[in-house]
Amino acid sequence: MEPLESATMREEQDNIMIKAGIIGATGYAGGELVRLLTAHSKVEVVWYGSRSYIDKKYAEVYQNMFQIVDARCMDDNMEELAGQVDVIFTATPQGFCASLMKEEILSKVKVIDLSADFRIKDVPTYEKWYGIEHKSPQYIEEAVYGLCEINREDVKGARLVANPGCYTTCSILTAYPLVKEGLLDTDTLIIDAKSGTSGAGRGAKVPNLYCEVNENIKAYGVANHRHTPEIEEQLGYAAGKDIVLNFTPHLVPMNRGILVTAYAKLLPVTKADGQMGLPTYEEVKAVYDKYYRQEKFVRVLDKGVCPETKWVEGSNYVDINFVIDERTGRVIMMGALDNLVKGAAGQAVQNMNLMFGLAESEGLELVPMFP
């Protein structure tokens, strides 16, 4: 017989209906939020905020929502919105959320910010890499970095969640177990990443035009991409020391997906016979399993299988694997995710589920699309 406490908790969850508002609902990440939340059994979206399309029917902006979403786009008045909903998602450019954040809002509603405004704890670092003044630094300490697999318990009690970046989510989850367990010489860590064009947003930009992107691949933000300090900070927490690394992103001609390949020297470990030696495949695999065996959305692949973006497309999964290069003493770590789902909207929904006491996978049981 089910315990009374468990039955009561399940009944409370069954009765939950969360009212949500989205500011930036017509960007790619915002559109993905609409797609996921529309199918979420515990959520009603009541505000589709879009400064660019005020009073235009949402389904006229995204025709895939025809006869699914009948609402019109509204403005980005966060104070007014805070009085009408339980949670606000801000899928907006850097600086927007921070410019509006105040206690009157956070005292009424939970906020999940998909920008970088509250991800980096050091204000001068944020201002240096993003080139703007932080307008509400008083909330940075309170904000929880919403990488659920690492900060799950903190997310549950948060008023303000900083949803991680797409590159950073894939990079951190790919390397985190080995950094946390001290198996890597972090001074040698190099992260190479490739992303589909939706990661650059929906705005019209010449570098993202079809003729510029098609049949082409290019590095960008070399040695100065603004996700670098976010990766360094979070992996630094895992290592218990400051980390400085190289991160180089590349743009590839596909709609969705991120593939990370990270390289680092392995550190010797003490073997059963008391001798020092590099970790074996089994030892490294055991470390990944220690951290991810119970994680719904992190899949550590079988030996010899390399992650591919196609196998996670449209889903909240992250596929991870590694290869030890005994010749060089390095480990090659690989990760793949959908930049719009686990890299943005899916992770935001995962955070929302935790904040409201729902099952973490609610609304995210998405089988990857193929082909």
Q: Please tell me the predicted confidence (pLDDT) of residue 205.
A: 86
- Output the pLDDT for position 226: 97
Distance CA 357, CA 322 (A): 34
pLDDT value of position 9: 57
- Specify the pTM: 0.94
Q: Is 166 a catalytic residue?
A: yes
Beta bridge partners of 247: 191
Euclidean distance between CA atoms 254 and 214, whole angstroms: 8
- Give tens-digit pLDDT for 280-331: 999 999 999 999 999 999 999 999 999 999 999 999 999 999 999 999 999 9
pLDDT score recorded for residue 214: 95
pLDDT for the residue numbered 310: 98
Hey, CA dihedral for 36, 154, 247, 186, is it positive or negative? negative
pLDDT of residue 220: 96
**What count of residues does the chain have?**
371
Domain range summary for the chain, segments of one domain joined by +? 4-142, 167-339
Q: What residue ranges in 170-285 does DSSP mark as E strands?
A: 184-195, 218-219, 246-251, 258-266, 269-270, 276-277
Per-residue pLDDT, 4: 58
The rounded distance, in Å, linking the Cα atoms of 97 and 301 is: 37
What pLDDT shows up at residue 202?
Answer: 85
Q: Within 13 Å and on the Cβ side, how many CA atoms surround 290?
A: 11
Residue of 73, 97, 148, 166 marked active site: 166
What residue type is assigned to position 189 of the chain? L
Instruction: Tell me what pLDDT residue 130 has.
Output: 97
Alpha-carbon span 151 to 93, nearest angstrom: 24
Q: Quick count: other Cβ atoms within 10 Å of Cβ 178?
A: 25
Dihedral of the alpha carbons of 175, 181, 182, 183, in degrees to the nearest 10: -70
Report, at the CATH architecture level, how domain 167-339 is classified.
2-Layer Sandwich (3.30)
Low-confidence ranges of the chain (pLDDT < 70): 1-14
pLDDT digits (tens, 9 = 90+) for 104-121: 999 999 999 999 999 999
- DSSP SS3 for 277: strand
Report cis status (omega within 30 of 0) of the bond before 229: no
Tell me the residue ranges of DSSP E strands in 301-346: 318-325, 330-337
User: Parallel, antiparallel, or unpaired for β 218-219 and 246-251?
Assistant: antiparallel
Q: How many CB atoms lie within 10 A of CB 194?
A: 21
Domain covering 4-142 in this structure, CATH number: 3.40.50.720
Which of 361, 363, 352 has the alpha carbon at shortest distance from 144? 352
